Structure 1
Amino acid sequence: VCFHETVEALHLGTLMAAHGYFFPISDHVLTLKDDGTFYRFQTPYFWPSNCWEPENTDYAVYLCKRTMQNKARLELADYEAESLARLQRAFARKWEFIFMQAEAQAKVDKKRDKIERKILDSQERAFWDVHRPVPGCVNTTEVDIKKSSRMRNPHKTRKIKYWQIQLDRHRLKMSKVADSLLSYTEQYLEYDPFLVPPDPSNPWLSDDTTFWELEASKEPSQQRVKRWGFGMDEALKDPVGREQFLKFLESEFSSENLRFWLAVEDLKKRPIREVPSRVQEIWQEFLAPGAPSAINLDSKSYDKTTQNVKEPGRYTFEDAQEHIYKLMKSDSYPRFIRSSAYQELLQAKKKVMVLCYPF
């Protein structure tokens, strides 16, 4: 705000007057004019920051009290007289009680000093001009100032969003976390060479060459095959696990999801100059209308991917890949683990281990 500009200063002053922080002494319209009008500051008791919410009965008492005081300055304006008549009809059953309250307040006012009474009358009138404004004037009390300020406070908004995220987070009891950690440790215990001697042993530390022989034959060890059953990530991390998983899906004529996932993983490792052409190849094979190996995507992921293809990059298919990963994890992978192919592979490795180490 530029306070050197008269227009800006008048605008700011009018806003303060409209909210009742100061008021013209002889006018019901709460505005600031550059014409020599006298103004008076409102007492802090009547400030809107105190969150006043006066009832219609309070307004009726105030108007009724005004009619009891034979002062020209306290005469009711036309709109106030209409409001009084309307309130008298609305509160007909308890009007006697309202009248008694107004009479009691008027008696108290008469005991005050003349100047003090004038000031208090003007302050009370200004208070009601804010909460029951002249017809055609803006009602500044329709929205709570403090609530409005809190709603617009960016710091508060950030804190609210933060706590909402915290509430939505999946939380576990410490006992559950400890059980999960113990279970994970026990599951992977035999794969930690510091805790359990590797089988077969490390050929660089012993004279046993079984490890090299297994690697040369491309046959996975029993430990490797067993590890594929821990989760889909374990199967996908192991080259032989990926190969066996793919063979199983090909036997069921449903390998397009895994081939798409592997193609996207390969895309992320390609040189940047090859990325645009590779993106188009993946699109034509798996996602384009009439694609030979079409995959099943939800509309949201498909629309996002369609937009991304226009500006190809290594992560163009990120949303589609995530969707396909979830599909495989919930459907294809459990079928692979339950399949006879995996069970036979696991049992075959166990038999080999028994034959090699009968004792």
Structure 2
Amino acid sequence: MASSNCTSTTSCSTSFAEEKHPHPNMLIYRKMEKLINQMLHSEDGIKIKTVKSFLSKIVSVFSGQDLIVWLIAHIDVFDEIDANHLLHLFASHGYIFQVDDHVITMKGGDTSFYRFQTPYFWPSNCWEPENMDYAVYLCKRTMQNKAHLELEDFEAENLAKLQKMLSRKWEFVFMQAEAQYKVDKKRDRIERQILDSQERAFWDLHRPVPGCVNTTEVDIRKLSRSGRSKQSTCNTLVIQMEDNESQLNNSNNLKTPNIREVRFYQKPGRRRYTQIKDYLKIEISELQTRLSKNVLKTSKLAESYLQYYGHRVSFDAFIVQLGSATDPFQGQPNPWISDTVDFWQHDKITGDISTRRLKLWEESFEELLIDPVGRETLQKFLDKEYSGENLRFWMEVQKLRKCSCRMVPVLVTEIYNEFIDSNAQSPVNIDCKVMEIIDENLKNNPNRWSFDEAADHIFCLMKNDSYQRFLRSDLYRDLLNISGKKYSFSTLISRKASRKTPSKTTTNQQSLDNPQFPLNTLNTCKGLRGSSGSRSGSFVGIEREKKTKCQPNSFDSSTLTMTRGNVNSSRGIRRDSSSCSSSSVAAQQRSNNN
């Protein structure tokens, strides 16, 4: 019984080891190769011919127009543009190549000649050529004294780089190239010509001209989806199993164990384990976690999705056109359809928040936090409620998660000193369990995730308590009332402008009502205040001088200096106003002397 179990285990392990991971583009390759095999059919395929040139012959070729005609006749392709695109895909993946020019593009309607690639070089064989193979090919090209086989400029540069890179193995590379060259010389001339063109087309695909797209590169996301690692690495698992038919050792009277090696492939994107047992334990725990999760029925999921999207249909611009009669918010028109950008500039120009934006805040707490204006409005409300430190702490933790590595210790220290420490300036409301977790995280290794538990706790508090009170607050209701009133766009702009600029008529009226404020110096001293909050300076002193009829020598140099000092120390004064005041004082002195 035990032997049968061991045998079954061995067979399963062997089959697992022999399993090959498919290429992520294998489905595309199979479809292309099916069409290529139809083209190569002796009766219904493309007629391959020999073209006579001036002094030579080009064998086993066909024209691009022949491909177009065959595709239209045998495939549901009614447009020549689609046929050209399909042929371009064949050429870019290396199934067809041009004889005269070494490019991986194709124009089906031209008069150039093309040739099929041999199945040995098809991409479905998962070719991953190394630099040594490329060096052997370039060396072999240099040994052939033919004009059409001379190295291009970029190929000569690549050969020099490879010679420097493989300096220790260069003698072996040269020997391989020389051996292949001797084998090729023994072939027929026409056969050698076809093989040379096919080999060159293979390297034009895998080592393209600088500036061309390398179609052999595979996206890492496709590799992950196909379950194939970027580099096909595998670990070897040694399995020892006792075989009943094994012979006994005469010296020690022990059974010789049957040792077999099983290749074990790890999934891409996962941490590499040196011990396969550790990897298997992690995978088993993940599978057990999946089994323990509650699985909902598809009908329940579909019902919840329909309810969610049906509730948010009014915010979908594809279903409800903005600014139309069906728009429940009666906002600005869609800027991508209309010629105006009022939808984008409404909040910034008018200073008000649109109804659509306010109603979106009611949908969820996450929508409120995503919006910068929503966070600012919520912060104002929380400051009034004396709980603004909660939102500030949550924002600082989000900033910590996205900061650079060198700023992590600095931000961790700042957050702890401001919100967590016993002597913090703005302590947040967290319980003892969360505090213990934070202390443990900071003690082991402070990182960008040290405050995640506290941030989640504060987020739940704000969502369950502060967010509900915010929606019922007077601040939010006032914003809704203001946005609900219908004003024209120009009226909203003028209202915002009136908030920023103070009216000039009130200042002029105050100057006319005050008899002690001279009209001829209104533009000079307008808006000046002294240290006591009242108008002060040389002008008031001059008027007082007129009423009391002071002596001409009452304004000496010290008084003038003090006057200038008072004017310069007043808020918002400029140097030209002080110079104007001193000139008016001098003029008044002359009039008194006269």
Q: TM-score, normalised by structure 2?
A: 0.32
Residue matched to 2:312: 188
Alignment pair present for 1:243 and 2:376: yes
Deviations 1:289-309 (A, max 9, x none): 121211122323212212323
C-alpha displacement of 1:173: 4.1
* Alpha-carbon distance between aligned partners in 2 of 1:220 and 1:8, rounded to the nearest angstrom: 90
Change (3 A) 1:177 1:347: farther
* Alpha-carbon distance between aligned partners in 2 of 1:302 and 1:165, rounded to the nearest angstrom: 31
Runs of 4+ residues deviating >6 angstroms: 1-4, 6-9, 154-161, 353-356
Change (3 A) 1:196 1:353: farther
Aligned partner (choices 334, 340, 350) of residue 208 of structure 1: 340
Deviations 1:261-304 (A, max 9, x none): 01111122222222211111110010011212111223232122
Deviations 1:68-118 (A, max 9, x none): xxxxxxxxxxxxxxxxxxxxxxxxxxxxxxxxxxxxxxxxxxxxxxxxxxx
* Alpha-carbon distance between aligned partners in 2 of 1:303 and 1:250, rounded to the nearest angstrom: 28
- Indicate the RMSD between aligned Cα atoms, in angstroms: 3.7
Residue matched to 1:332: 466
* Alpha-carbon distance between aligned partners in 1 of 2:332 and 2:350, rounded to the nearest angstrom: 14
* Alpha-carbon distance between aligned partners in 1 of 2:289 and 2:302, rounded to the nearest angstrom: 26
* Alpha-carbon distance between aligned partners in 2 of 1:248 and 1:313, rounded to the nearest angstrom: 31
* Alpha-carbon distance between aligned partners in 2 of 1:157 and 1:278, rounded to the nearest angstrom: 33
Alignment pair present for 1:273 and 2:406: yes
CA contact (8 A) 2:400 2:411 kept: yes
Opposite residue 190 of structure 1, the aligned amino acid is S
Alignment pair present for 1:302 and 2:302: no
Number of matched pairs: 214
* Alpha-carbon distance between aligned partners in 1 of 2:359 and 2:334, rounded to the nearest angstrom: 20
Change (3 A) 1:331 1:157: same
Residue matched to 2:481: 347
Question: Does the residue aligned with 1:202 lie in a helix, a strand or coil?
Answer: coil
Change (3 A) 1:299 1:202: same
C-alpha displacement of 1:7: 11
Alignment pair present for 1:254 and 2:379: no
CA contact (8 A) 2:353 2:479 kept: no
C-alpha displacement of 1:201: 1.7
Residue matched to 2:577: none
Residue matched to 2:416: 283
Residue matched to 1:166: 291
Deviations 1:112-137 (A, max 9, x none): xxxxxxxxxxxxxxxxxxxxxxxxxx
* Alpha-carbon distance between aligned partners in 2 of 1:208 and 1:160, rounded to the nearest angstrom: 57
* Alpha-carbon distance between aligned partners in 1 of 2:338 and 2:252, rounded to the nearest angstrom: 92
Q: TM-score, normalised by structure 1?
A: 0.51
Opposite residue 338 of structure 1, the aligned amino acid is R
* Alpha-carbon distance between aligned partners in 2 of 1:160 and 1:262, rounded to the nearest angstrom: 34
Question: Does the residue aligned with 1:193 lie in a helix, a strand or coil?
Answer: coil
Q: How does 1:119-134 map to 2 (within 5 A)?
A: none
Aligned partner (choices 311, 318, 336) of residue 452 of structure 2: 318
Q: How does 1:92-241 map to 2 (within 5 A)?
A: 162=287, 166-169=291-294, 171-198=295-322, 199-203=331-335, 205-211=337-343, 212-241=345-374
Question: Does the residue aligned with 2:485 lie in a helix, a strand or coil?
Answer: helix
Change (3 A) 1:161 1:345: same
C-alpha displacement of 1:8: 11
CA contact (8 A) 2:394 2:458 kept: yes
* Alpha-carbon distance between aligned partners in 1 of 2:481 and 2:299, rounded to the nearest angstrom: 36
Deviations 1:156-195 (A, max 9, x none): 99879845753452x4444432232112212222222222
Opposite residue 194 of structure 1, the aligned amino acid is F
* Alpha-carbon distance between aligned partners in 1 of 2:416 and 2:465, rounded to the nearest angstrom: 24
Change (3 A) 1:167 1:268: closer
* Alpha-carbon distance between aligned partners in 2 of 1:284 and 1:343, rounded to the nearest angstrom: 36
RCO higher in structure (CA 8 A, sep ≥6) = 1
Q: Name whichever structure is richer in helix by fraction.
A: 1
Change (3 A) 1:200 1:159: same
C-alpha displacement of 1:353: 7.0
Structure 2: gaps (5+ residues): 1-239, 243-247, 255-278, 323-330, 491-594
Question: Does the residue aligned with 1:335 lie in a helix, a strand or coil?
Answer: helix
CA contact (8 A) 2:438 2:450 kept: yes
Opposite residue 332 of structure 1, the aligned amino acid is S
Question: Does the residue aligned with 1:196 lie in a helix, a strand or coil?
Answer: coil
* Alpha-carbon distance between aligned partners in 1 of 2:393 and 2:460, rounded to the nearest angstrom: 13
CA contact (8 A) 2:418 2:424 kept: yes
C-alpha displacement of 1:209: 4.2
Residue matched to 2:205: none
* Alpha-carbon distance between aligned partners in 2 of 1:213 and 1:319, rounded to the nearest angstrom: 39
Question: Does the residue aligned with 1:229 lie in a helix, a strand or coil?
Answer: helix
Deviations 1:214-234 (A, max 9, x none): 333343211111011111100
Opposite residue 183 of structure 1, the aligned amino acid is Q
* Alpha-carbon distance between aligned partners in 2 of 1:156 and 1:303, rounded to the nearest angstrom: 30
Residue matched to 2:566: none
Opposite residue 208 of structure 1, the aligned amino acid is T
* Alpha-carbon distance between aligned partners in 2 of 1:173 and 1:220, rounded to the nearest angstrom: 41
* Alpha-carbon distance between aligned partners in 1 of 2:285 and 2:453, rounded to the nearest angstrom: 28
